[in-house]
Structure formats: C-alpha cells, structure tokens
Structure 1
Amino acid sequence: MSKVRVLIVDDASFIRDLVKKGLRDHFPGVQIEEAVNGRKALQLLNKQSIDLILCDWEMPEMSGLELLTWCREQDNLKATPFIMVTSRGDKENVVQAIQAGVSDFIGKPFSNEQLVTKVKKALHRAGKLEAFAPNQKPASNAFANDSLAALTGGKAEVLKPAAPSTPVATPAPVASPKPSAAPAGRGQGSLRLPGGSMACVIKALSLKDAQLLVKRGQLLPQVLESVVLDLEQGESSEIARLNGYLHAVAAFEPKADSEWLLLTLRFVDSDPQKLDYLSRLIARGTAQKHFTPGG
C-alpha cells in the first residue's frame, strides 16, 4: 500500500490536533507533517513530497494565501490538492483564493464529518483515496465540480455574521430587576459552532480567553467544541475572526432552567495581528462596557 503524506499548516496547535485526530481516525496509515505557518511549510515542501495540504489562511510570517500562490508557481506542486481550513468564508476571500488556485475550503469551525468529506474529495481527485479503501466508492459525482457555488454552497448563513440564529436583542427577563436590551456595537458578537451560529454578548475579555453570554436555544454549545468568535471592528465594520474552543459551559443563573448560558472561550490564535486587535479592545476598556443580564 502506498503511503499518503498530508501537510497540516496552522499556527494554532489545537486546530492541528483536531485535524490530525480526524485524519488518523478515518485514514489509517496516513503520514502527517505539521507546520506552524506558511514559512515553515515552504521549507518543508522544499525537502519532501506532499500529497495533500490543509492550510489555515491567517498566520504569522507567511499567510495561507501566500503559501498557496507559491505552491502554484512550483512545477511539482501545481496539481497538489490545497485545502484552505479557514474562517475566511466571505465571497471576496473565496474568489481571491480560487484565483490563486485553491482546491477547496473547510470553514472554521468544522465538524469531523466535514473534514473527512473534504479530504476524501481531494484524495479522490488526486487518485490517492484507493490507498486507504480500495473498495470504497466516491461519495458523490460532484467531486469533479470546482465552481464558486460548490465552494460556498450551504455556508452563507454560517459565514455571514449578520442574522444570528438565536436573537438576543430583547432578552426575556432572567433575574430581578428586569434586564436592559443588549447594546449594539463591540459588546455583541456572533459565535460560530459546527452546528450553526448564535449571537453572543461579551461579558469579559482577555488575551487568552473571553466570557460570553448566549441565550439558551436549540443549539447547545459543547465543551471542547471548536468555535469562531466574530467581532465587528472599526468604522468600516470589518469582522475580526478569533478562533478558539469552549473551555466551559455553565448556567448564568443559579437554576437548572437558566435562560442564559455563560461560556468560557479559550483563544488558540497566535497571529500577532489578532493579538494586537485584542490588546486594543482591552485597552479601551471594552470589556467593562458590555451588557450583563439583570444589571
């Protein structure tokens, strides 16, 4: 059986561990290489052959888009499947990556099933899937499609930080006295989970973590679940995407049917730009201005 070698490029060790576990559970014998940014990945690619690249977009030193552009300029890497594993799912970013030669996308946060499906698709195209399952048939004939519609299909609601699945603009009373409405602006954000998105209010913020309030609904966050926190920044309303995982989920009120949940989100990004953005938010005292139900 021929060996298949996959390169995982991400500055967050938590994300690399998630991808490694998903690959090893579903592709026995796969050989995995790691790199913490595009620069390290470039050095590795100059030394050995790789059959599939799974790469983050936003990384220090060299971004995923820069690495992709470099790969497509190399004769031996022009046809190598390159999948962006990223929270950048906006249409303009997708188009930019397609023009640079990306093979596919996996949106953060992702489920194990989504990861496996995308990897199978890429390995099938490259003629490498048979190395793991000789009797396995392709899951779909759509493997040959590489259009913008295919790459963005089904993701619009998750990737746009606009309409949240669970509104919190006018929360119901959760304690006495009656709470005020959640304010607009930096006090609110959108939390993306593998199963969907939900609005959140930021109760506390640091360089390492954030405490978020979400209204209890059908979508119930789980401990250790990979998530993306979208925060609106600046007058141009650009979105800062902060990757992390849920460290704790607790009832905000001391009762079993608490209408609000208090989530502790641990950040996993080491991108200096994102850390600088967090530092500026904290310096402006943003955390102290956030809405607290019942206050």
Structure 2
Amino acid sequence: MSKISVLVVDDAAFIRDLVKKCLRNYFPGIRTEDAINGKKAQAMLAKEAFDLVLCDWEMPEMSGLELLTWCRQQDALKTMPFVMVTSRGDKENVVQAIQAGVSGYVSKPFTNEQLLTKVKQALNKVGKLDTLMNSAPTKMNTAFGNDSLIALTGGKAEVVSAPAPNAYLQSTAPAAAAAPTKGLLNSPPVKAPAAPAGSGGGGRGQGQLRLSSGNQLCVIKALSLKEALLVVKRTDNLPQILDSAVLDLEQGENAEVARLNGYLHAVVAHEPKPDSDWLQLTFRFVDQDAQKLDYISRLIARGTAQKHFIPGA
C-alpha cells in the first residue's frame, strides 16, 4: 500500500519541524515534505502529487490563501485536502478560507491532538484515512512544547505536561472587527494586567500571549527584531521553555495587532524571590514575513520616541 504524502508549508523552520515530527511520531509510515512559502509549494505541487497540504497563512512571496486559491483552480488539485495552520483564527479569516475551498482550519498554537484530529478529518473526507491508519500509532507526547523539546534533545529530556489551565488562562481576546491586511490584523484592544513593580510601569506595550493551554495577558517589557521580553502574572500553570506560542502585539491609536509566531526561549522569576508573583518570559520570533518584521521595526521606533519599549534589550 502506498504511503500518504503530506506537504508542510510555513516560513518558520521551527513550526515546520514540529508539524513534521508530530506526524511522523503518530504515523510512522507517512511521507512528509516541506516548503518555506506558497511559491515554493506551488512549484512542488505542480511536479508531484500530495495527499494533503498543511499550510500557514502569512508567508512571503505567496500567502497560504493565495496558494489555496491557485490549488482550487487546478483540475488535479481541486479535491486535494488543504488545511490552514495559522494564527489567524478570527471569524472573518475562517470564512475567507472556507470560501476559497479550505478543507480544515487549525489555529496556532495547537496541541498534537488538535493537529492530528484535523489531519484525520481531512483525509477521511477523501477516503484516505484507512491508508494513513495502516501503521499503528506510537505513543506520543501530548504537550506541543514538550514534543519540541524532545525533538531538540534527541528524546533524552523528560518534561512533565502542564496541568489543565485555570480560569486566568482561559481569558480570550475579542474577535476581529475589521477585515485584516496581509500580515496584520485590526482588533479591539486587549486590557493587560497591571504592571508589576520594577517593570517600568504601565506605559510600556501590552498584548496577549496565546499558548496551547490557554491565553495569558502580558506587559511588553522590551522588544527587538528577534524577541520580546514579556512580564506575566504567575499562575499555578507555569509556562514551559520551548512551548510554541503566538504573541498578539497591540499598539497605536488604531489598535493595530500583529500576530507573531514563536516559542518561549526562557522563563525566569521577575522578582528576586522564590514566591515572585510575576514571571519574565523571553519570547523568540520564528516568522519570516517581511510585513511582520516591518511592523516590529515601527513599534521599536515608536517605543524609542515614546519610551514604550527598550529596543534590543
């Protein structure tokens, strides 16, 4: 029986590797290929057949929506399962993708189970799920961030999965009120928690950190083109290093929001005491989208003038 082949499309290598490892862990017989943007994926789809495409939305050269639209215009790709894997989870974006012919939708950040469920549903619709399930699934780590740690350490590290999120982590941002521009979303402001002592006060930027376990409001203590230094209120569920996450950065009079994909590079106590009420998180960006990088640059420039940020800290 032939293998199921999946094309993973995302401009962030970190995300591509996590998705591929998740699929390979659960389906040992699966074949995975990857592309760094829609343009590269288009060339690959024109040359060889794939059973499923898992694709990001915001990418340089050609977006995921543009790739999806092109696929549905090709006779050979009209019915091919195409699942969006993106931080654009607002109603307007979902509707736009459905109108373009998407087969499924996975919002970042996500757990392994959420991704695998969408993969199974998409392949089941075209009668290829039995082929995918032909290989018995292996035991997998249920924490998305923990799976990435195993990938980087060769399986030598053991990390305890985070417990179920509490009420604080369950807070969610309002849905977008206006149609998004490429790489940016316009949405109502998210009220951040009061700034802790020593963080520089409430004048700094604010945003929302979205983890697979839930959402957490944050204060932006510092910002550079590669990472953001965040301060969050400590809860019973401590964020884990290498957890995949999405940072909703919100600034400006028009409440502009940039949704940045990345992972937690470091987690430390914000106060010099073991019972610190605040945590300081280093959030590393993985996006290569030019418009997102430009947006961060403008935030840094604005912060330099208004003292909202500490560039490069």
Q: 1:104 to 1:269 in 2, by over 3 A?
A: same
**2:131 is the counterpart of 1:115:** no
Cα distance between partner residues in 2 of 1:86 and 1:287: 33
Paired residues for 1:1-295 under 5 Å? 1-134=1-134, 157=172, 160=175, 169-170=193-194, 182-183=202-203, 187-286=205-304, 289-290=307-308
Aligned to 2:130, the other structure's residue is in SS state helix
Secondary structure, aligned partner of 2:76: coil
SS in structure 2 of the partner of residue 285 of structure 1: helix
Deviation at 1:169, TM superposition (A): 3.2
**Partner amino acid for 1:64?**
G
CA 1:203/1:56 → structure 2, altered by over 3 Å: closer, same or farther?
A: same
Distance in 2 (CA, whole Å) between partners of 1:281 and 1:62 is 25
Label 1:162 to 1:252 Cα distance change in 2 as closer, same or farther (>3 A): farther
Any conservation in 2 of the 1:174–1:259 contact (CA below 8 Å)? no
Q: Could you list the structure 1 runs, at least 4 aligned residues long, displaced by more than 4 angstroms after superposition.
A: 158-164
Is the Cα–Cα contact under 8 Å of residues 169 and 181 in structure 1 kept in the other structure? no
Q: CA deviation at 1:63?
A: 0.3
Q: TM-score, normalised by structure 1?
A: 0.83
What is the aligned length? 266
1:110 CA drift (Å): 0.9
Farther off after superposition, 93-102 or 226-235: 226-235
Aligned Cα root-mean-square deviation (Å): 2.6
Q: Is the 8 A contact 2:52 2:82 kept in 1?
A: yes
Residues in 1 aligned to 2:306 and 2:113: alpha-carbon distance in whole angstroms: 39
Q: Distance in 2 between matches of 1:273 and 1:63?
A: 12
The percent of aligned pairs where both chains have the same amino acid is 65
Query: Alpha carbons of 1:212 and 1:156: their partners in 2 closer, same or farther (altered >3 Å)?
Result: closer
Structure 1 unaligned residues grouped into runs of 5+:
137-154
Cα pair 1:28 1:132 within 8 Å, conserved? no
